[in-house]
Structure 1
Amino acid sequence: MGSINHEERVRHEGLREKIMSAEQAASFVQNGMTLGVAGFTGAGYPKFVPTAIANRAKDAHARGEAFGIGMLTGASTSHDCDGVLAEANCINFRAPFQSDPAMRNHINAGNTHYVDMHLSHFEQQVRFGFYGDMDIALIEATGITPEGKIIPSMGIGTNNQWLKTAKKVIIEVNSRQSMMLDGMHDIPADLGEPPFRQPIPIVKPDDRIGTPYLECDLDKIIGIVMTDAPDRNSKFADPDENSKTIASQIIEFLDHEVKKGRLPKNLLPLQSGVGNVANAVLMGLQDSPFDDLMGYTEVLQDGMLDLVLSGKMKSASATALSFSPDALKRFNDNIEFLSDKLVLRPQEFTNHPEVIRRLGIIAMNAMIEADIYGNVNSTHIMGTKMMNGIGGSGDFTRNSHFSFFVSPSTAKGGAISTIVPMVSHHDHTEHDVMFLVTEQGFADLRGKSPRQRAKLIIDNCAHPDYRPMLQDYYDRAAKASGLQTPHLLNEALSWHQRFVETGDMRINKMRLAV
């Protein structure tokens, strides 16, 4: 800690007087408070104060005292934020997205109330008091200017709103972040509330409509904590054959749409969800026939970074940069080149439905399962256990020009089929899902009735081990009900129940033959 240059990072003299330890800052957090915490998909979250809060909670519990807080973020953080707080059993309420195993376990055990919601809606709902008062905002910054303006770090998320909403503010200033991030961010002015809200003047993904800095009433800032720690920086797995196959099918389809005149030669702005399959699609675009690509996404990962570095992509807009360690080095080594090609904005703008609709985004997101009619579950395992959350996938799916959902056709060594008779939890309805892609094939659902969709999805996307079972289910449902969307309600979720009871969705082949 002694090596951190306070004067270089905190250039406002008055705020330098508020520099304190993480433990001192954590002492402001009391039982029952609601915290607005920075963080979006493992980037830009506080690194030191959460552990100090967790230690306060443990000490209080050891004395037999209650200590629990509510925690609102942009999206997921990391184990040294979400995880340590969950393990200290001090998160009573959590919203709107998470991905930490410890936090997930507490949610699924019923120890933490969790609201999973569309990210584009969250800031407005906080402004209107849906979540009560916000006592303290805990955000991360790269530095503070002489005027007291805050230079954001690798993620913005909801920081702009938290600084306005919270009664008090604690800022972690992280010297691990490059000072050359200064100028990469775009923080728009307040556009008002309904019915007087102004249009968002983003007409191209790389438009800048605000200032590079976050601003805050300096009197609300009660503590500055100096840190030196990396973001989550998880390593992405090298694309496997399934991921490569999925990527090649999407690229082949996009090329077909260009030739049909339904897409321009440089496509439309691209959005990609987080994960290895989505990242593989972006990596596959390196060798595609498309140039001058544009990105308009919420999280910028390795694949999109490399598209920008190679010149395949002109620019990209996001709310957070979430890189593997190798990609982070490429980012820092080329940050001067990237400074005018990457734009980081608050998530209320990156995920805004109107902007997504107007720009004509091509959205690519991962799923847990889809049913034979095109409904998608992206949040719950077997319909009951939360995985991570819907995040921004709903914002992009419903409002995009093209909406893809991708996944391998099976999981758990073949014991689970990604394609099922009926999804065990609905996140994205058949009305919003245009394309399903597995390593088995591609289903173009545009303009298709439910019965037509069922044939495409079973024939093209289901694994051969499950295809006869799905066809048998559909045939019997169509014969028995004869309705618009054939289902056997007493069997629709039997695959999930069978897995819960036996550990495998597959049934004895003799039973199917009978």
Structure 2
Amino acid sequence: MDVYQEYKSKCCTADQAVQVVKDGDWVDYGMSCAYPTALDKALARRHSDLKDIKVRNAISCHAVAILEADPENRTFTYNLWHCSGIDRKYLDAGRAYHEPMLFRDCGSYYRRGFAPVDVAMITVAPMDKHGNFSFGLTNGCTQEMLDAAETIIVEVNPNMPVVFGMGSDHIHVSKVQAIVESQEAVSLAPNREPSAIDKQIAENIFPYLHDGITLQLGIGGMPNALGILIAESDLKDLGMHTELMSDGYLDLYKAGKITNDKKPFQRGKGVFSICMGSKELYEFLDHNQDVLSAPMHYVNNPETIRQLDDFISINSCIAADLYGQVCSESAGTRHISGTGGQLDFVTGAYAADHGKAFLAMPSSRVDKKGVRHSNILPKFTAGDIITTPRTQAPYMVTEYGVANLSGLATWQRAEALINIAHPDMREDLIKAAEAQRIWRRSNKI
């Protein structure tokens, strides 16, 4: 049987494909843009005849059909490696649950049997003449998840770009049990416009950048602001090595800033593990030999990052305390996102020759009542999840400046962080530091 005959023999409707799911199963969806939208809808239609179905995913980009069809969660339990804004709504309502992890280790949970998979469902690009389906925008830990699965269903979508990879970037038709053809829109990530504070934070980071660096950017207004600064600057010969590729990188490619020519390995190739962004970004990636996808266990491995001289990592956080502990995933006990790759890149960037990691946040926030609250706290006491421990605290950035915490004593950290806090909050922070015995009498502010 040739690959086209095999393809045809395995084709079925989404409703037919999800009949394989049985009571008590663990079902894994392809994370972020590999989300199997048609299969999710079909599984939702079975909510009344199934029991105790656990679904695992990460970074939902639109409403989750199984949860919308099962508002009391009688059938489906939704579990998340990492959380989007949409996921936060489900978490806030007690309708979804977080699975803590470091992204570099996520695949190992599947390999070691800690994350069982009865049925895997992922969106892929159309089959090539060799019988291969490209994973497209999501490499991540897809291969490990599929290797652990008892049954594999692919949702073939012509809207998914073909992306070349270093490995673990495709699956052959012989290894799938069912094929569903789909025309669903591939998920897009909203491109947040930078705020005035985002722009100021970006301006504070920019002086640390220079020609030939390899850059890892997160997603959001601040990375977009920094991308604009770089695109309009004289910087050149930048490299890309990132867990998540967003439109900020597209701007840098279009401006000719990213060449990847100075990277010590994978020269001429930008490397990412997951991509989320605009349709224009996805079109840019389709069959583009300048960019490679790679598994998360490689991209986020500190040993990989260590070998990239002049590596610069820039990510966002939610809050920090005067000891240098950093929270990037919860506000008190309210879950916001996840550890993701932050600690991976903080660790790797520090180990790289001339490497630097920056964690950025607004110095304060204003609540619905108009009351200002500092994002630099005396100490964490409300259940906030510590993402980066104080022993690895890197360069901290607000709109008021940059504080390099590496090697500093507790009193030095307190002084450095208070110096970049909102001016209205500094006096109270000093009093707290004094009470916590981390304020030296000769400190200046």
| TM-score (norm: length of structure 1) | 0.75
In structure 2, do the counterparts of structure 1 residues 346 and 364 end up closer, same or farther at CA, with 3 Å as the change threshold?
A: same
What is the deviation of 1:84?
Answer: 2.3
Counterpart check, 1:215 vs 2:205: no
The letter of the residue matching 2:36 is P
Out of 439, 446, 451, the residue aligned to residue 411 of structure 2 is 451
Match of 2:198 in 1: 243
Determine if contact 2:131/2:173 at 8 Å carries over to the other structure: no
Structure 1 segments (4+ residues) deviating >6 Å: none
**Distance (Å, rounded) in 2 between the aligned partners of 1:455 and 1:288:** 33
Listed as ranges, the matches of 1:246-257 within 5 Å are 246-254=201-209
SS at match of 1:53: helix
SS at match of 1:279: helix
Equivalent pairs counted in the alignment come to 414
Match of 2:443 in 1: none
**Distance (Å, rounded) in 2 between the aligned partners of 1:100 and 1:442:** 28
Determine if contact 1:273/1:393 at 8 Å carries over to the other structure: no
The letter of the residue matching 2:15 is E
**Distance (Å, rounded) in 1 between the aligned partners of 2:91 and 2:191:** 26
Out of 139, 144, 153, the residue aligned to residue 170 of structure 1 is 153
Match of 1:85 in 2: 66
The letter of the residue matching 2:291 is L
Match of 1:291 in 2: 236
CA shift digits 1:263-283 (9 cap, x unpaired): xx312x211122222222222
What is the deviation of 1:36?
Answer: 2.4
Match of 1:425 in 2: 385
Listed as ranges, the matches of 1:34-433 within 5 Å are 34-40=26-32, 43-57=33-47, 59-60=48-49, 67-73=51-57, 75-80=58-63, 83-87=64-68, 88=70, 89=73, 90-92=75-77, 94-101=79-86, 103-131=87-115, 133-178=116-161, 181=162, 184-187=164-167, 213-216=169-172, 218=174, 220-254=175-209, 265-267=211-213, 269-315=214-260, 316-324=270-278, 328-329=279-280, 332=283, 334=284, 339-360=288-309, 361-382=311-332, 384-400=333-349, 401-413=355-367, 415-423=372-380, 424-433=384-393
Determine if contact 1:163/1:216 at 8 Å carries over to the other structure: no
What is the deviation of 1:217?
Answer: 7.4
Identity %, equivalent residues? 26
**Distance (Å, rounded) in 2 between the aligned partners of 1:300 and 1:20:** 33
Match of 2:352 in 1: none
**Distance (Å, rounded) in 1 between the aligned partners of 2:155 and 2:96:** 26
**Distance (Å, rounded) in 1 between the aligned partners of 2:425 and 2:257:** 39
Bigger mean CA deviation after superposition, 302-311 or 413-422: 413-422
**Distance (Å, rounded) in 2 between the aligned partners of 1:45 and 1:129:** 22
What is the deviation of 1:111?
Answer: 4.8
Determine if contact 1:140/1:171 at 8 Å carries over to the other structure: yes
CA shift digits 1:364-383 (9 cap, x unpaired): 1111101112210011112x
CA shift digits 1:26-49 (9 cap, x unpaired): 221222111222123xx2221210
Counterpart check, 1:442 vs 2:402: yes
Determine if contact 2:7/2:173 at 8 Å carries over to the other structure: no
Match of 1:497 in 2: none
SS at match of 1:389: coil
In structure 2, do the counterparts of structure 1 residues 15 and 330 end up closer, same or farther at CA, with 3 Å as the change threshold?
A: closer
**Distance (Å, rounded) in 1 between the aligned partners of 2:233 and 2:323:** 31
The letter of the residue matching 2:407 is G
CA shift digits 1:91-111 (9 cap, x unpaired): 43524212253x434445555
- Structure 2: 5+ residue runs without aligned partners? 261-269, 350-354, 441-445
CA shift digits 1:35-94 (9 cap, x unpaired): 222123xx222121012112211x23xxxxx62322334x313224xx223332244352
What is the deviation of 1:17?
Answer: 1.9
Q: CA RMSD in A?
A: 2.4
What is the deviation of 1:11?
Answer: 6.0
CA shift digits 1:121-159 (9 cap, x unpaired): 01112111112x311111111112333222222222222
In structure 2, do the counterparts of structure 1 residues 288 and 453 end up closer, same or farther at CA, with 3 Å as the change threshold?
A: farther
SS at match of 2:315: strand
Determine if contact 1:404/1:433 at 8 Å carries over to the other structure: no
**Distance (Å, rounded) in 1 between the aligned partners of 2:304 and 2:53:** 34
**Distance (Å, rounded) in 1 between the aligned partners of 2:223 and 2:254:** 18
**Distance (Å, rounded) in 1 between the aligned partners of 2:282 and 2:155:** 22
**Distance (Å, rounded) in 1 between the aligned partners of 2:341 and 2:285:** 27
Determine if contact 2:316/2:360 at 8 Å carries over to the other structure: yes
**Distance (Å, rounded) in 2 between the aligned partners of 1:93 and 1:22:** 20
Match of 2:267 in 1: none
| TM-score (norm: length of structure 2) | 0.86
The letter of the residue matching 1:84 is A
Match of 1:199 in 2: none
- Structure 1: 5+ residue runs without aligned partners? 1-9, 61-65, 189-212, 256-264, 483-514
Determine if contact 1:38/1:158 at 8 Å carries over to the other structure: no
Determine if contact 1:246/1:438 at 8 Å carries over to the other structure: yes
